[in-house]
Amino acid sequence: MGTPARSGLPVTISVDGIAVTVPEGTSVMRAAAEAGIMVPKLCASDNMEAFGSCRLCVVEIEGRRGTPASCTTPVVEGMVVHTQSDKLRRMRKGVMELYISDHPLDCLTCAANGDCELQDMAGNVGLRDVRYKAPEDRSLVNHFATRDGAGINALYVPKDESNPYFTYDPAKCIVCSRCVRACEEVQGTFALTIEGRGFDSRVKAGAVSDDFLTSDCVSCGACVQACPTATLQEKSVIELGTPERSVITTCAYCGVGCSFKAE
Ligand code: FES
């Protein structure tokens, strides 16, 4: 849940009828959270800059046209925000429907079952059915097409299990880019990038490497922690299941101060 630039001056706005005072420039999403209202989100996270890609956090603002993303919209004095309406509910449901239409429906056997933000948001927006047909062959969700002079070449991207600590499963990726931003903003490594467009887009480790192990990845785990699905998953969780408790701790190895989850 990153925030746009702030002037620091306090402003008061209304979110669903609740008055809340926050520093000018705070994101509408953050202001809503201050008012005790959680706006659905997927691409935003508390420790990174707002990105505005998933469009799940749309809100209505009186006097403004359209439905802006609350994570990238800064508050101004007197703003009146509505986070709930039939229109917003329809939009969020439509967004989630598109995400789920291209996602494996294996929640019950997935290592992230019960600890998956995609699953949580599907429940949050009340998604029960998906109108769009999934590929008959679920392996097609792994597909990645490249275009060259000869036309379109469909490649099937397998799981990347090269890293000793975590796996990367492109079939479960929603391309929210949280891992890419965590690698840049939290770790400062720039090992990940997004490649391709639309259904063909995917996270890639490094510009020239074929997998995480041979990329610039330093195995800090920031990407795994940022991932809202089971795309990037610790091997220990896959093998042993989700731990009953975990704590966020800070690595003492060097002065960077990387935080990670200890289980
Ligand atoms: Fe705002 Fe994704 S959370 S656009």
CA of 136 to the centre of ligand 1 (A): 30
Identify which of 1, 30, 47, 51 to mutate to test ligand 1's pocket (most ligand atoms within 8 A of the CB).
Answer: 51
Within-domain flag for 112? no
Instruction: Determine whether the shortest distance from the Cβ of 227 to ligand 1 is under 6 A.
Output: no
Q: Are residues 81 and 187 in the same domain?
A: no
**147 vs 248, more confident:** 248
pLDDT tens for 22-75 read 999 999 999 999 999 999 999 999 889 999 999 999 999 999 999 999 999 999
Q: Are residues 241 and 144 in the same domain?
A: yes
Among 74, 101, 128, which residue terminates a domain?
A: 101
Q: Are residues 154 and 240 in the same domain?
A: yes
Q: Are residues 238 and 187 in the same domain?
A: yes
Instruction: Determine whether the shortest distance from the Cβ of 44 to ligand 1 is under 6 A.
Output: yes
Q: Find the DSSP H helices in the chain.
A: 28-34, 86-101, 117-124, 178-181, 222-226, 235-240
Confidence of residue 218 (pLDDT cuts 50, 70, 90): very high
Identify which of 46, 48, 49, 57 to mutate to test ligand 1's pocket (most ligand atoms within 8 A of the CB).
Answer: 57
Of the candidates 202, 229, 228, 232, the residue with the CA atom closest to the CA atom of residue 217? 232
Q: Are residues 142 and 258 in the same domain?
A: yes
Q: For 181-203, what is the mean pLDDT?
A: 88
DSSP conformation class of 141: G
Instruction: Determine whether the shortest distance from the Cβ of 57 to ligand 1 is under 6 A.
Output: yes
Closest atom, ligand 1, to C-alpha of 71:
1
pLDDT of residue 140: 45
Q: For 212-230, what is the mean pLDDT?
A: 93
Task: Give the other-Cβ count within 10 Å of 71's Cβ.
Answer: 30
pLDDT of residue 8: 77
Q: Angle of helix 86-101 relative to helix 117-124, nearest 10 degrees?
A: 140
Q: Please say whether the dihedral angle defined by the alpha carbons of residues 161, 166, 170 and 171, taken in this order, is positive or negative.
A: positive
Closest atom, ligand 1, to C-alpha of 43:
2
State which residues form the domain around 25: 1-101
Residue with the two structure tokens 């598109």: 98
Instruction: Determine whether the shortest distance from the Cβ of 41 to ligand 1 is under 6 A.
Output: yes
Among 101, 129, 162, which residue terminates a domain?
A: 101
Within-domain flag for 243? yes
Q: Are residues 26 and 81 in the same domain?
A: yes
pLDDT of residue 47: 87
pLDDT of residue 262: 62
pLDDT of residue 255: 66
Within-domain flag for 232? yes
pLDDT of residue 158: 81
What percentage of the chain carries pLDDT values higher than 90? 60
pLDDT of residue 156: 56
Instruction: Compute the mean pLDDT over every residue in the chain, rounded to the nearest whole number.
Output: 85
Phi-psi region of 173 (alpha: psi -120 to 50; beta: other; left: phi over 0): beta
Q: Are residues 4 and 92 in the same domain?
A: yes
Within-domain flag for 52? yes
CA 114 remoteness from chain centre: 16
CATH, residue 2: 3.10.20.740
Closest atom, ligand 1, to C-alpha of 50:
1
Residues in the chain: 263
List Cβ neighbours of 176 (8 Å cut-off, separation of 6 or more): 42, 43, 51, 53, 54, 228
**129 vs 89, more confident:** 89
Among 55, 72, 101, which residue terminates a domain?
A: 101
pLDDT at 104 over 70: yes
Within-domain flag for 194? yes
CA of 27 to the centre of ligand 1 (A): 11
pLDDT tens for 143-182 read 444 445 544 444 556 889 999 999 999 889 999 999 999 9
pLDDT at 105 over 70: yes
Instruction: Determine whether the shortest distance from the Cβ of 11 to ligand 1 is under 6 A.
Output: no
Q: Are residues 67 and 174 in the same domain?
A: no
Within-domain flag for 55? yes
CATH, residue 201: 3.30.70.20
Instruction: Determine whether the shortest distance from the Cβ of 71 to ligand 1 is under 6 A.
Output: yes
pLDDT of residue 35: 97
CA of 168 to the centre of ligand 1 (A): 23
Q: Are residues 147 and 233 in the same domain?
A: yes
**174 vs 238, more confident:** 174
Instruction: Produce one character per residue of 208-239: b if its CB has 16 or more CB atoms within 10 Å, e if not.
Output: eeebbeebebeebbbbbbbbbbbbbbbeebbe
pLDDT of residue 173: 92
List Cβ neighbours of 100 (8 Å cut-off, separation of 6 or more): 118, 122, 127, 130
Within-domain flag for 110? no
pLDDT at 136 over 80: no
- What domain count does the chain have? 2
Within-domain flag for 158? yes
Q: Are residues 155 and 91 in the same domain?
A: no
pLDDT of residue 141: 46
- State yes or no: ipTM above 0.90: yes
Instruction: Determine whether the shortest distance from the Cβ of 58 to ligand 1 is under 6 A.
Output: no
Identify which of 28, 53, 118, 121 to mutate to test ligand 1's pocket (most ligand atoms within 8 A of the CB).
Answer: 53
Q: Are residues 150 and 79 in the same domain?
A: no
Q: Are residues 251 and 145 in the same domain?
A: yes
Which of 69-73, 199-203, 238-242 bottoms out in mean pLDDT, i.e. has the lowest? Answer: 238-242
